[in-house]
Amino acid sequence: MANTPAASSSAGPVLRGLHNATIKRNLAVALGLTAVITVAFKILVNDPKKAAYAEFYQKYDANKSFERMKAAGRFQSC
């Protein structure tokens, strides 16, 4: 009687609530990854781009640029 397969002591898989538990875990992972990727994108892409624009407009002279384009014949009315 000890060798019967029906008398195993290991419990079967817990299937009740498995879908809800999986959704909760996947949602937590998705929110965590979203937060990490958002911060990384801000630091690696947006901040350097913002600094580059700030540097460009510190040196930019709109009147000088206008005169250069006017001299090159870019405008029909000037």
**Alpha-carbon span 68 to 12, nearest angstrom:** 80
Overall number of domains in the chain:
1
**38 in a structural domain:** no
Q: What is the pLDDT of residues 1-28, one digit of tens each?
A: 556 555 566 888 888 999 999 999 999 9
Provide the CB-side half-sphere exposure for 66 (13 A, CA): 5
- Is residue 62 one of the residues assigned to a domain? yes
pTM above 0.75, yes or no: no
The tens digit of pLDDT for each residue in 25-45 reads 999 999 999 999 999 999 999
Give the span between the Cα atoms of 54 and 48, in whole angstroms.
10
CA atoms within 13 A on the CB side of 68: 6
Domain containing 59: what range? 46-73
Q: What number is the average pLDDT over the span 51-65? A: 96
